Amino acid sequence: MSSVIEIKVPDVGNVPEIDIVEVLIKPGDVVTVEQTLAVMETDKATMDLPSSAAGTIKTVHIKPGDKVSEGTLIATLEVGEAAAAAPAEPVPAATPAPVETAPAPAAEAPKVEPAQPAAAPAAPVSVSSEGFKAHATPSVRLFARELGVDLSKIQTGSGRKGRILQDDVKNFVKQVMASGGSSSGGAGIPSIPAVDFTQFGEIEEKPLSKIKRLTGQNLTRVWLNLPLVTYHDEVAIDAMEEFRKSVNASMAKDAVKVTGLIFIMKALVAAMQKYPSFNSSLSPDGEKLIFKRYFHIGIAVDTPNGLVVPVIRDVDKKGIFQLSNELAEKSELARTGKLKPADMQGGCMTISSLGGIGGTAFTPIVNAPEVAILGVTRSKVQPVWNGSAFEPKLMLPLDITYDHRVIDGAEGARFMEALKSYLGDIRRLLL
């Protein structure tokens, strides 16, 4: 006996739309449990969609470029004794039709005569911004949100029946930049002119990954809207390193080693507890400060597709060994593209560490709606004056960038001094 089951998109966190970038199955394929059926991509990470059962693919309901969400039907799978031997049935011609028509809700795309679409773009329909819900598809609305554009401010829609298209959003942004105005709190600046680089020599073009594109857009919004200040300092960590090495020496050979980043996480949380403004977010209207009673720390991880930030939750309640194991697991998931959106949400503050690469200082950009980010670069031995002579000290450079609307310079300096006191003598974490 055999039966047919449906494979659907599982719970991926609070993400309304996910892009299908690659479909790895076709009708007739025999798949195993946990075999990857498709590759999905959000604005923060790519992830594999595994099969929940073994059997033969009967029908595939998605294609590259589709947008899906939790519960979307991916494929039907024949399971049971007959599944492996049963010949694949051809895909019915009508099967893909619901997927193709789904992105265009009937309420937003009224039926029109076939001859109308060609003539409509030539005569844009004026739309009002007062109490008017702009006619646009979900993908255009998402595109507008990514650019910080209020669709109600676009006075003309060049699509059918006044529908706002992606080109309308692009043209609106160009007009705002050219006029020196602003849209949704952003600052209008002259655009960088296009350059034909082929006139200088041979070139090669490669598309940016979605993670890099949307990360760039988010960082641009932060840079334009937040008054950022970066404070640089350094701390002697000889005692911390000596303790870390002694801990690792006493551990089993196959155990996950404790890194200096774990102590930085614990020290950062202790400083945040002392200065709660660093564990807050500013309300969208700028009138209230939202203080958080939890301590989740984001760790920027370098991956082939760009930086992603998995979040380690409840750092204040976990020991260094548990944090070491969790950080190692999350980092591996990030590098292999298997992080879920929920794994990258809810951070209170982010650490961006370049210690494994080098550098002496840099200016990390705040991961809004957080109000601060800590940058760490490579430690090195330096001569430090102790009052009577120079002595060698292992110095760790620290860089903290904060939102000046929430944190002033004096508080930023005090926070860094507190952080340095915990890193300089980790016994203070027990007080």
- Is 404 tagged catalytic? yes
Report CA-CA distances (Å) from 206 to 230, 293, 377: 33, 44, 30
Residue 23 near residue 62 (C-beta atoms within 8 A): yes
Report CA-CA distances (Å) from 84 to 8, 31, 56, 160: 21, 9, 6, 49
Q: What share of the chain is helix, strand, coil (3-state, %, to 5)?
A: 30, 25, 45
The Cα 148–Cα 144 span in angstroms is 6
User: Which residue among the candidates 61, 135, 232, 404 is catalytic per the annotation?
Assistant: 404
The Cα 368–Cα 221 span in angstroms is 9
Helix ranges restricted to H, 115-233: 116-119, 138-147, 166-179, 210-225
Residue 156 near residue 125 (C-beta atoms within 8 A): yes
C-alpha dihedral sign at 345, 347, 352, 356: negative
Bridge partners of 282, per DSSP, are 289
The Cα 137–Cα 173 span in angstroms is 18
Residue 157 near residue 127 (C-beta atoms within 8 A): yes
User: Which residues are annotated as catalytic?
Assistant: 404
